[in-house]
A and B are shown apart, each in its own frame.
Chain A
């Protein structure tokens, strides 16, 4: 048994090293000068210098991209949480044909590929002046996210016992009162799941920002990365320093929220 454990540990370590290798190369490149890279791709840099980072920071307007990403992700996830919790509550507590029908329509919407809606969305965005704004793209993310969000909230609320609500209703509490005083305090775990999954998706999304945020002042992180890499393809060390700067916030978020992300993915699979 002991031997088997060591073998398993060895195999998994090797796979882990292969998985980490591209990250290692990125960090290595970010700290080297072009001359050092040319002399030897894998040699360690002669000294630790943050010059590549400060140069790419200056060249990229990183702060504006990260602000845009933060604002858009925050508005969108807030919107998704708000509307999904409300709709999920209605669907969970009203077991009537109309509500079940709406629920199925939400689920069926998940199959529709973005490729169909992409061009109409662009046209609508243009006509309703939703392009190049934070709220415009957030509304679209809201409409996308509510489908999965309702699935999570309805499933979660169905598992909550109705007894407390019924008692409160007899005491004269209205539906909004019940929702605010009784249901909302119980929703923390599912809300954490919905937030982290949507935040990760919206933060990394590329195609919708490519269509909606063409003005460079509104570019999100992935979009700015795309244009930066195109522009600095000859100055690899600078580009990799920029890539590492893009990895840091996501990895930080992931390590902090790991518990919720993993729980959310596992829970989503069971519901699907």
Chain B
């Protein structure tokens, strides 16, 4: 008996320490997740007190909803291009900043600054740069340009440019940290053996920073698949549905169109897509990483 008492007393504090965090998590994530999964099997409108279960209807409807396929195509196009551009530019800048460059900290701050302001602000600033700033700049060179955000063919690319401008900072810092872990001796000895700068980059540096590449691609890809703010504050999904992404589509269905049941079913599908993307990506990259 005494042993059990001592065990409870010993364990009690650890359980008590865990409780506040666990309760908050259950309250803000777990309970809403379960409620959301439940709503996805109903035709709830988001307002009424009564809820009717309709089985898999929402899911069946989603797969035959042609809008959903357009939205998914937009989302993936946006996310893939943003991920590629952000990682390419961030790695390039990190390579420059890792080598000897004056005012290293100043440059790092400049490239991070655009990521520190809210998306509402950057969306606003860019919207008017596109609408007035760039056209009047290009006019000086005799070129006539309009805002890409008003043209269904270019609107998504207009958003991608803003996302790249805002998203470089954090991946760049992760790449710099990764590059600092690459030993200079290894690169030096490859050079003595006759490897060119390009060769030593592709055969030594790049494999060694593979963990940073994995985490950066994962973070940027899942982050841009979830994009909401940027679309909501600039184009609202338009023109002509060309920038409607999954998050804004879910938001509109859930709140504006009073189809909460359908909206949550869409969000569950989106969740499964995210999990799938994460698993595929980790399994591809883990195989390529080098253990040091």
Bound CA–CA A206/B119 (angstroms): 8
Bound CA–CA A89/B176 (angstroms): 30
A194 in the interface (beta carbon within 8 A): no
* Chain A, 108-141, CB within 8 A of any chain B CB: 109, 111-121, 123-124, 139-140
Q: Are A116 and B36 interface neighbours, CB within 8 A? A: yes
Given known A116-B36, A119-B39, A265-B174, contact A204–B118 (CB-CB < 8 A): yes
Report chain B residues within 8 Å CB of A87.
17-18, 20-22
Report chain B residues within 8 Å CB of A144.
28-29
Given known A102-B18, A176-B13, contact A229–B120 (CB-CB < 8 A): yes
Given known A12-B96, A115-B247, A204-B119, contact A142–B28 (CB-CB < 8 A): yes
A76 to chain B, nearest CB (A): 11
Q: Which of A20, A113, A179, A270 is close to B17, meaning CB atoms less than 8 Å apart?
A: A179
Q: Are B124 and A207 interface neighbours, CB within 8 A? A: no
B145 in the interface (beta carbon within 8 A): no
* Chain A, 209-258, CB within 8 A of any chain B CB: 221-223, 225-226, 229, 236, 239-240, 243, 246-247, 250-251, 253-255, 258
Q: Are A116 and B129 interface neighbours, CB within 8 A? A: no
Can you name the residue of chain A whose Cβ is closest to the Cβ of B266? A115
* Chain A, 33-48, CB within 8 A of any chain B CB: 41-42
Can you name the residue of chain A whose Cβ is closest to the Cβ of B36? A116
B91 in the interface (beta carbon within 8 A): no
Report chain A residues within 8 Å CB of B52.
none
Q: Are A246 and B229 interface neighbours, CB within 8 A? A: no
Q: Are A86 and B17 interface neighbours, CB within 8 A? A: yes
What sequence of 0s and 1s flags, for each residue 71-107 of chain A, a beta carbon within 8 Å of any chain B beta carbon?
Answer: 0000000010011101101110110000100100110
Stretch from B78-86, B102-110, B187-195 forming part of the interface with A: B102-110
Q: Are B228 and A207 interface neighbours, CB within 8 A? A: yes
Q: Are A83 and B119 interface neighbours, CB within 8 A? A: no
Bound CA–CA A222/B39 (angstroms): 30
Report chain A residues within 8 Å CB of B173.
262, 265-266
Bound CA–CA A222/B136 (angstroms): 28
A11 in the interface (beta carbon within 8 A): yes
Q: Are A91 and B18 interface neighbours, CB within 8 A? A: yes
Q: Are A121 and B28 interface neighbours, CB within 8 A? A: yes
Report chain A residues within 8 Å CB of B215.
269, 272
Report chain B residues within 8 Å CB of A123.
35
Q: Are A140 and B28 interface neighbours, CB within 8 A? A: yes
Q: Are B125 and A116 interface neighbours, CB within 8 A? A: no
- The tally of CB-CB contacts under 8 A between chains A and B is 253
Q: Are B120 and A146 interface neighbours, CB within 8 A? A: no
Q: Are A102 and B22 interface neighbours, CB within 8 A? A: yes
B27 in the interface (beta carbon within 8 A): yes
Q: Are B117 and A139 interface neighbours, CB within 8 A? A: no
Chain B interface size, under 10 / 10 to 19 / 20 to 34 / 35 or more: 35 or more
B206 in the interface (beta carbon within 8 A): no
Q: Are B136 and A41 interface neighbours, CB within 8 A? A: yes
Can you name the residue of chain B whose Cβ is closest to the Cβ of A258? B109
Q: How many residues of A contact B (CB 8 A)?
A: 89
Q: Are A90 and B15 interface neighbours, CB within 8 A? A: yes
Among A89, A90, A105, chain B packs the most CB atoms within 10 A around the CB of A90
Can you name the residue of chain B whose Cβ is closest to the Cβ of A221? B118
Q: Are B264 and A251 interface neighbours, CB within 8 A? A: no
Q: Are B118 and A246 interface neighbours, CB within 8 A? A: yes
B62 in the interface (beta carbon within 8 A): no
A161 in the interface (beta carbon within 8 A): no
Report chain A residues within 8 Å CB of B109.
254-255, 258
Q: Are B116 and A200 interface neighbours, CB within 8 A? A: yes
What sequence of 0s and 1s flags, for each residue 233-264 of chain B, a beta carbon within 8 Å of any chain A beta carbon?
Answer: 10000000000001100110011000010011
Q: Which of B116, B125, B246 is close to A254, meaning CB atoms less than 8 Å apart?
A: B116
Given known A121-B32, A150-B21, contact A116–B118 (CB-CB < 8 A): no
Report chain A residues within 8 Å CB of B102.
9
Bound CA–CA A90/B17 (angstroms): 6
What sequence of 0s and 1s flags, for each residue 255-292 of chain B, a beta carbon within 8 Å of any chain A beta carbon?
Answer: 10000100110111011001100100000000000000
Bound CA–CA A15/B172 (angstroms): 14
Can you name the residue of chain B whose Cβ is closest to the Cβ of A267? B177
Bound CA–CA A206/B123 (angstroms): 12
Bound CA–CA A13/B218 (angstroms): 29
Bound CA–CA A105/B21 (angstroms): 12
User: Told that A12-B97, A121-B32, A124-B35 touch, could you supply 9 new A-B pairs with CB distance under 8 A?
Assistant: A19-B111, A23-B113, A90-B15, A143-B26, A143-B28, A229-B124, A243-B125, A269-B178, A270-B177
> Could you name 15 residue pairs across A and B whose Cβ atoms are closer than 8 Å?
A5-B100, A9-B102, A19-B111, A29-B128, A83-B20, A87-B22, A116-B33, A118-B267, A207-B228, A207-B229, A222-B120, A225-B118, A229-B120, A258-B109, A265-B170
In the complex, the 7 A-B pairs of residues with the closest C-beta atoms, listed nearest first: A143-B28, A87-B21, A117-B32, A120-B32, A175-B13, A120-B35, A266-B177
